[in-house]
Amino acid sequence: MHDYSKLISYLSQYGISVSDDQVKQLDTYYEMMTETNKSLNLTAITEFDEVIVKHYIDSVTIVRDIDMSGKKSVIDVGTGAGFPGMVLKIIFPELNITLFDSLQKRLNFLEEVIYALGLKDISTYHGRAEEAGHISSMREQYDICVSRAVANLPVLCELCLPFVKTGGTFIAYKSDKGSSEVEASAHALSVLNSSVVKEDEFSLPDSDMVRDLVIISKEGPCPKAYPRKPGTPSKKPL
Ligand code: SAM
């Protein structure tokens, strides 16, 4: 078992405690990720101390701004190896989480983790956000959407906001370029009936890596035309 004290003490600052079982789940996830990574490209970061800061702590930084307790529905768009969605599910077991990605092989890995950890109220969904955003069982169904390292903010708004209920929240995990991306997103946000309520810029613990959580509130329904067909949001950003 690895040493999770850095993550535990980070969360304790926000009044969040982690049980021994949760620590075991995080460790099994780490072991499965590094093992699977030998044959499937899941992550470039595999060294334990780096994973703790750049994947695990980075995933939970959302607690700075959002109350993640309770039975909220959450979708992680472009979850990859499960960041931030899988870590959030382990730390906040009451969440109902959909791990969404266009790459089936990564979702197969996440299915194995879900089974090994015995997690409930979590599912994977394979597809393109541009298409799934029009499916009635997913469109405007989630309290919270999270997304990290998938696209620039103007593109990401079109991919993610259609999943969020009116009154819900989209949190984009950004690096130090967050502010300029927010400026470039003014048109997309207005078309998609949403607005930035907060930008939270900080450094990850014991690191000079700057992070910027962009918190966006969905104020009204998305027009039916959005998201546009696969590829169009990135080729012609709003
Ligand atoms: N969020 C993870 C992280 O931060 O480690 C993975 C980031 S990875 C760079 C981007 C992921 O987004 C990939 O797994 C890719 O398959 C997925 N993706 C990109 N465009 C997508 C789209 N339009 N719909 C669904 N998934 C998409």
pLDDT one-digit tens code per residue, 38-72: 999 999 999 999 999 999 999 999 999 999 999 99
| Range 93-117 average pLDDT | 98
pLDDT at 179 over 90: no
Question: pLDDT confidence of 205, banded at 50, 70, 90?
Answer: very high
Ligand 1 lined by 101 (C-beta under 6 Å): yes
pLDDT given for residue 125 in this prediction? 98
- Please give the pLDDT value at position 199: 96
Is 211 a pocket residue for ligand 1 (Cβ < 6 Å)?
Answer: no
Q: What are the helix (H) ranges across the chain?
A: 5-12, 20-36, 48-51, 58-60, 85-91, 104-117, 129-132, 153-160, 178-184, 186-191, 232-235
Give CA–CA dist 3/150, Å, rounded: 30
So what's the pLDDT on residue 178?
Answer: 80
Q: How far apart are CA 142 and CA 96, in angstroms?
A: 9
Quickly state the pLDDT bin for 146 (edges 50, 70, 90): very high
The answer, yes or no, to whether the previous bond of 162 is cis (omega within 30 of 0) is no
User: Does 229 score more than 90 pLDDT?
Assistant: yes
Span 160-178, pLDDT tens digits: 999 999 999 999 999 988 8
pLDDT at 177: 81
- In the reported structure, the alpha carbon of residue 13 is separated from the centroid of ligand 1 by a whole-number distance in angstroms of 30
Average pLDDT over residues 191-213: 96
pLDDT given for residue 176 in this prediction: 83
| Best residue for ligand 1 mutational test, from 150, 157, 161, 213 (most atoms within 8 Å of Cβ) | 150
pLDDT score of 126 more than 90: yes
Q: Enumerate the β-bridge partners of residue 212.
A: 174, 201
Query: Which CATH architecture is the domain 5-235 placed in?
Result: 3-Layer(aba) Sandwich (3.40)
Query: Is the distance from the beta carbon of residue 102 to the nearest atom of ligand 1 less than 6 Å?
Result: yes
Is residue 233 pLDDT above 90, yes or no? yes
